[in-house]
Amino acid sequence: MISYADFEKVDIRVGTITAAEVFPEAKKPAYKLTIDFGPEVGLKRSSAQVTKHYMPAQLIGKQVLGVVNFPARQIGPFLSETLILGLPDGTDGVVLIAPDQKVPNGGKMF
């Protein structure tokens, strides 16, 4: 188990996807995303394996939750700066976690 203090160290924020493109160099099908996490965090990029349920154009303008305080991770030629959160659908797909109403970018989950 982790303590509540440990959980508080994970900075999960809401952001809006501003760009999405196919990531052809990825080992598994993925997109390169740019997400606006508001003025405090800014723009961050992420590699996301969400190709089963989403097309790039569908992702533009979508709000998602992401961990913004993990170290960047090199994925092939791409530097992923945030971990976008999703849930498995039971058939090898991922469904993104998102607020059910529009909220300001950068809002911190608590």
Q: Is residue 26 part of a domain?
A: yes
Six token digits for residue 82: 């945030």
pLDDT, one tens digit per residue, over 35-55 is 999 999 999 999 999 999 999
Question: pTM higher than 0.75 for the full model?
Answer: yes
| H-state helical runs in the chain | 4-8, 38-41, 56-59
Six token digits for residue 51: 């190709």
Token pair 């109403």 is found at 101
Higher per-residue pLDDT: 110 or 56: 56
Residue 89 domain boundaries? 4-96
Checking DSSP bridges between strand 73-75 and strand 78-80, what pairing results, if any? antiparallel
Any idea what the CATH number is for the domain that residue 77 is in?
2.40.50.140
CA–CA dist 100, 10 (Å, integer): 22
The domain total for the chain is 1
pLDDT value, residue 110 = 84
CA–CA dist 108, 110 (Å, integer): 6
